[in-house]
Amino acid sequence: MPVVIHCAYTEAVNPSGASPVLTRDQIWNGMQRKIRKAQDFVPIIDGCDVLEEKHTEVVREAHFMEFNGNPPKSVKEVCKSYYPTKVDFWQPDGTLITNTVSDGSSLEEADLNMTYTFEWRYPNVEEGSEDHKQKLEASRKGAKQAVHSSIEAMRRMASAGELD
């Protein structure tokens, strides 16, 4: 049975002083762009090919660089969109990555958070081993980097008028 590493990271989309302030629609448009051009958002992805597209589902092949001790690889992913809140990225081995936009405590339009949740599967890693601990820590750091770089990419795109 494979080891499954669960981790999540949340970051405020519009912290004090952020400019431009991103709207929910801009974030959603950014998430849709991320499905098709992931390399613009996540540093460990260096390319993406859309294989099939339906109304709320895109099948793509994402090209990953080395990550968390794993060699570079291409992974076919099924991306399912649930407007206006989340996108699920399903990989063939059962790995699930979820990108979620949620309201902050004020429930105001600008008070939004982005959370990425990961369920990474490692068939050759022993539960509780040093390798398991290292992969968990690397996953936590990777989750933080993925959320932050995605928000920053959306902010650059919004500044350029690409998310309206």
CATH of the domain at 68: 3.30.530.20
Number of domains in the chain: 1
Quick one: three-class SS letters along the chain?
A: CCEEEEEEEEEECCCCCCCCCCCHHHHHHHHHHHHHCHHHCCCCEEEEEEEEECCCEEEEEEEECCECCECCEEEEEEEEEECCCEEEEECCCCCEEEEEEEECCCCCCCCEEEEEEEEEEECCCCCCCHHHHHHHHHHHHHHHHHHHHHHHHHHHHHHCCCCC
Quick one: pLDDT at residue 2?
Answer: 72
**138 inside domain:** yes
Instruction: Tell me the residue range of the domain where 73 lies.
Output: 3-159
| Tokens standing for residue 48 | 């993406």
The answer as to whether 41 is a domain residue is: yes
Whole-number pLDDT of residue 111: 97
pLDDT value for 1: 62
Q: Are 112 and 104 in contact (CB under 8 A)?
A: yes
Asked if residue 93 belongs to a domain, the reply is: yes
Judge whether 19 lies within some domain. Answer: yes
Q: Is position 122 within any domain?
A: yes
Q: What is the pLDDT, as a whole number, of residue 97?
A: 96
Cα distance between residue 74 and residue 62, in whole Å = 6
**Residues ≥6 apart with Cβ < 8 Å to 97:** 88, 89, 91, 116, 117, 118, 119
Look at residue 151 and tell me if it is in a domain: yes
CB-hemisphere CA count at 13 Å for 87? 22
Q: What is the pLDDT of residue 153?
A: 97
Q: What is the pLDDT along the chain (164 residues), one digit of tens a residue?
A: 679 999 999 999 999 999 999 999 999 999 999 999 999 998 888 999 999 999 999 999 999 898 767 789 999 999 999 999 999 999 999 999 999 999 999 999 999 999 999 999 988 888 999 999 999 999 999 899 999 999 999 999 999 999 98
C-alpha gyration radius of the chain: 16
Would you put residue 94 in left (φ > 0), alpha (ψ -120 to 50) or beta? left
- Asked if residues 60 and 68 have their Cβ atoms less than 8 Å apart, the reply is no
pTM score, two decimals?
0.90
